[in-house]
Amino acid sequence: MTTDDPESKPQSLQKADDPESEIRESLKQLVEDLRPPGAIAVLKTTLVHVPKQLEALLTALVEQDWETASRAAHRLKGTVKMYGSQRLAGLLLQVEQKASAMDAEALVVDLTGEYDRAMHHVKEQIALLENQQSKD
């Protein structure tokens, strides 16, 4: 096996290489754990609350209000872990632990991109579940 062979990498690194798959798998697990009606409710709640929390974080970063950014990142981190976005969770952890030493502009771009990726999958999962329920 070579080091480029996916089987030779630890599973955590394999997941990190494919954030799309990581998010899809976490959402699949969420649906299995909560059943479709519960998953739909949780995912729709996410679409309401997470954008507000992210906006507060991005505003704090732009204003270089590191204390507020750290608190906002902490609040968001647990939620995004549930949806499998390890990259987004990692960025939030960085902000939470050492916000004042970071490039706020780059963080805003990175956080926004990873957030968009995760929420795209959340919306897809909601549509899929609602479509399945309407057929039942």
Is 11 contained in some domain?
A: no
- What is the count of structural domains for the chain? 1
Question: What is the CATH classification number for the domain harbouring 92?
Answer: 1.20.120
Please give, one letter per residue, the 3-state secondary structure of the chain: CCCCCHHHCCHHHHHHHCHHHHHHHHHHHHHHHHHHHHHHHHHHHHHHHHHHHHHHHHHHHHCCCHHHHHHHHHHHHHHHHHCCCHHHHHHHHHHHHHHHHCCHHHHHHHHHHHHHHHHHHHHHHHHHHHHHHHHC
Query: pLDDT tens digit string along 10-41?
Result: 344 444 568 889 999 999 999 999 999 999 99
pLDDT for 6:
41
pLDDT for 102:
72
Is 7 contained in some domain?
A: no
Query: pLDDT tens digit string along 61-109?
Result: 999 898 999 999 999 998 888 888 889 999 999 898 876 667 888 889 9
Q: Note down the domain range covering 57.
A: 20-131
